[in-house]
Structure 1
């Protein structure tokens, strides 16, 4: 499938792929499809995993193909035009900041990205002597930034209540709602509320599915589906009373794992349009397509620079996998905003891979007093909510073991004396230390610090001659680069541990309605059984040892999710039960006896009498309330 490239690119993007064909997994939205590039991800070694995930990340920058349907992409004229229109609306608020506000909102990864970007742009404004204009909302509040609380995004009313609080007294509020799959009720409610109150609010929806693929299931506490909300926004976009920014960037390298491309594209898209707004507002001119393209190319360059370190990324992946295999812990210790990226990566492993919160954890070194809306929410909340420098020194450092791995993430502009002191303290406990270091041409790591690390991923950036706002481009590049490295390492480590079947997360934690439906789709895909049988098996695995009654079967999805949150290995157990036609206790025993959850499923797939292949996934949802 040829593509007609209109722009000069920094990197070579993959050619338009099989996933763009109209018949490919037709019932699935793009963000839930499996990526043909990675269909054998579970058979890949560390080097190949880095290569494949790097190719998937490069798909972000693809232009439109000539396949039908032709999905709009990041570089499509329609997307660039909408970005400029939104940038213009942001400029209007920047010109009258006293009565205005820009709210970035989302659940899970999207909410953490909202947090990161609001912190960044408030730092930019403070540095210019301007009053900070940004705030963030994340489903479940500040605790969801540093801990996995994915279920909080299922309430539309919760989203509206939180929005009303932060917008009180403001006369012009731009609300940028982020939902990679166009699926989170938390965001849907906010967008609907904004459309009902356009005198004050301007809603901007960001996601990576076409609107006709937005989630269409009923929302338990709201009258509209997400798709209906998005369709209404499209109509209002004609009058610039709402905007939808939804370029397709292809399926995730790990099916449905929107923490990866979804999170990265959110950062690229919004930082590009917001930075363009800030760069041009003082000159009294509108942001231009050229300005957008210049910034987008710097993010392409970040991809090239990052994946030039592929062999060292693969080495780090193997080290992390070895620590986890030995029941060790992995600690990601990042300075300043790179610490936020570290926290995000660790938290997201919990629901993505069914990991324990202690397996991979991020820590932020540096002052974070002005970052959070409600810092009190994070005080004395227990070990799951520890993330600060003090937490690392008091809770982690004393108990470090040789089987643990600690990764230090910093730039050569950080306090290197502080870095060296902490590295020396850690090295007394474990020799498994690694560094991810960002520098600019002309900078070099001091020899005493360099010799402390057995291995260093050193990423050097070219000098950029920009005005103050433009200097943030390099900051954003470093953050994105760090995200790509950590996502690739933590994902690859779990692939090597046998947590992935083909390119599917088999042991994900069912923490919200999106993940419930994904679990059901996995059972259908690999068992080939009817929807009714798959629902029955899933509910049995969730509620065991309680027998399934008609009352339980008829309960709303939220009640099943509430029980599932406390359970482990629900999907592998349900799948083995389906494939082997055995009871839940027998399936649990088989999963426990296998070297990994995927081996347990492979054994069941290879069992006698197994029907080969799975029936196509149907578009309609099963009749679960």
Structure 2
């Protein structure tokens, strides 16, 4: 494997020939060059679609068996992992322990630079040990340049514990190799500002994490059609969204949707099942449980009930 401290040859560290006069550009020209280069982030994600699909499939299987998903990174990569993990509970009503973000330096590194902590391979191993990672879990190591020792330590420890490992980097495998179950390379090329991987590399990483977590939640039955039927109704905005989902899918008035939502305990998925099957709350809860929370499957099996 490449020396984790040698970085000059890496794709993410190269000088971009398209932006060598960056400090001489007008504000409009700055926006234009950033916009052109950012298009490469979308293309990089598209090029990794097979690996991303594999990551979704394997992660969903592990979570269905009781496993957890962990993102591990440092600096920008770590912050992106923490952000994606933090957005799962409000979006999909998941328990906070199901998807977790681990960042070198801990919570303080989210708002203060702690880049020196990424150099500690052993700290990455320790983070995995402290969370008692098992063979049911999935560990996603995120490092734009591919060399972060903290991430490599985490992946190494996760593999030893039998967990499924996924590696996300923005350099080709021939520059930085690693042993991981799924190897995702987002080749965005040299940055507009040389070496600043919070730009294209960060954008591509955010896109990939969005796809991974949302894809997994779709496979887990957290979505019906393209609606957030497991959205947590915790504020006025989310209550309004829940009511609009119920209105759109059932044809009920807002008042009737509000009544149905309250009867279900503010759970859109349960409210829909109750409406479409005519079952009461307890029967609908049992039906959902029997179908691992999958609404479409619960509706189909609900035909066996006399009240359907």
What number of residue pairs does the alignment pair up?
224
Q: Is the 8 A contact 2:91 2:230 kept in 1?
A: no
Q: Please report the RMSD computed on the Cα atoms of aligned residues, expressed in angstroms.
A: 2.4
Aligned pair in 2 of structure 1 residues 130, 143: CA closer, same or farther (>3 Å)?
A: closer
TM-score by length of 1: 0.34
Q: Is the 8 A contact 2:81 2:209 kept in 1?
A: no
Q: CA deviation at 1:247?
A: 2.4
> Quick one: which of 247, 266, 275 aligns to 2:186?
247
Q: CA deviation at 1:175?
A: 0.5
Aligned pair in 2 of structure 1 residues 232, 179: CA closer, same or farther (>3 Å)?
A: closer
Aligned counterpart, 2:175 = 213
Instruction: List per-residue Cα deviations over 1:73-108 (Å, max 9, x = no partner).
Output: 4222xx2111111101111133233xx111011000
Q: Is the 8 A contact 2:63 2:137 kept in 1?
A: no
Aligned counterparts of 1:264 and 1:30: Cα–Cα separation in 2: 16
Aligned pair in 2 of structure 1 residues 93, 108: CA closer, same or farther (>3 Å)?
A: same
Aligned pair in 2 of structure 1 residues 41, 470: CA closer, same or farther (>3 Å)?
A: farther
Aligned counterpart, 1:95 = 64
> Quick one: which of 60, 63, 71 aligns to 1:104?
71
1:233 aligned to 2:202?
A: no
Aligned pair in 2 of structure 1 residues 158, 249: CA closer, same or farther (>3 Å)?
A: same
Gaps of 5+ in 2: 1-7, 232-308
Q: CA deviation at 1:165?
A: 1.1
DSSP 3-state at the match of 2:144: coil
Query: Max radius of gyration: which structure?
Result: 1
Matched ranges for 1:194-593 at <5 A: 194-198=158-162, 201-214=163-176, 231-233=177-179, 242-282=181-221, 467-469=226-228
Q: CA deviation at 1:54?
A: 1.2
Aligned counterpart, 2:19 = 38
Aligned pair in 2 of structure 1 residues 244, 469: CA closer, same or farther (>3 Å)?
A: farther
Aligned counterparts of 1:162 and 1:232: Cα–Cα separation in 2: 19
Aligned counterpart, 2:276 = none
Q: Is the 8 A contact 1:102 1:133 kept in 2?
A: yes
DSSP 3-state at the match of 2:45: coil
Aligned counterparts of 2:88 and 2:216: Cα–Cα separation in 1: 11
Aligned counterparts of 2:230 and 2:38: Cα–Cα separation in 1: 24
Q: Is the 8 A contact 1:208 1:247 kept in 2?
A: yes
1:114 aligned to 2:99?
A: no
Aligned counterpart, 2:112 = 147
DSSP 3-state at the match of 1:212: coil
Aligned counterparts of 2:152 and 2:138: Cα–Cα separation in 1: 15
Instruction: List per-residue Cα deviations over 1:532-561 (Å, max 9, x = no partner).
Output: xxxxxxxxxxxxxxxxxxxxxxxxxxxxxx
Aligned counterparts of 1:272 and 1:266: Cα–Cα separation in 2: 10
Aligned counterpart, 1:74 = 45
Aligned counterpart, 2:261 = none
Q: Is the 8 A contact 2:16 2:190 kept in 1?
A: yes
Aligned pair in 2 of structure 1 residues 277, 260: CA closer, same or farther (>3 Å)?
A: same
1:161 aligned to 2:126?
A: yes
Q: CA deviation at 1:113?
A: 0.6
Which one has more relative contact order, counting CA pairs under 8 Å at least 6 apart?
2
Q: Is the 8 A contact 1:279 1:469 kept in 2?
A: no
Q: CA deviation at 1:39?
A: 1.2
Instruction: List per-residue Cα deviations over 1:402-438 (Å, max 9, x = no partner).
Output: xxxxxxxxxxxxxxxxxxxxxxxxxxxxxxxxxxxxx
DSSP 3-state at the match of 2:68: strand
Aligned counterparts of 1:28 and 1:213: Cα–Cα separation in 2: 8
DSSP 3-state at the match of 1:251: coil
Aligned pair in 2 of structure 1 residues 120, 209: CA closer, same or farther (>3 Å)?
A: same
Q: CA deviation at 1:132?
A: 4.8
Aligned counterparts of 1:283 and 1:134: Cα–Cα separation in 2: 14
Q: Is the 8 A contact 2:70 2:99 kept in 1?
A: yes
Aligned pair in 2 of structure 1 residues 108, 232: CA closer, same or farther (>3 Å)?
A: closer
Q: CA deviation at 1:154?
A: 0.3
Aligned counterpart, 2:37 = 56
Instruction: Give 4+ residue runs of structure 1 displaced > 4 Å after superposition.
Output: 129-132
Aligned counterparts of 1:109 and 1:177: Cα–Cα separation in 2: 13
Aligned counterparts of 1:107 and 1:233: Cα–Cα separation in 2: 19
Aligned counterpart, 2:294 = none
1:177 aligned to 2:148?
A: no
Aligned pair in 2 of structure 1 residues 153, 205: CA closer, same or farther (>3 Å)?
A: same
Aligned counterpart, 1:515 = none
Instruction: List per-residue Cα deviations over 1:131-188 (Å, max 9, x = no partner).
Output: 75111111111100111111010000011111211235x5511000100000100001
Q: CA deviation at 1:253?
A: 0.8
DSSP 3-state at the match of 2:190: coil
Aligned pair in 2 of structure 1 residues 130, 197: CA closer, same or farther (>3 Å)?
A: closer
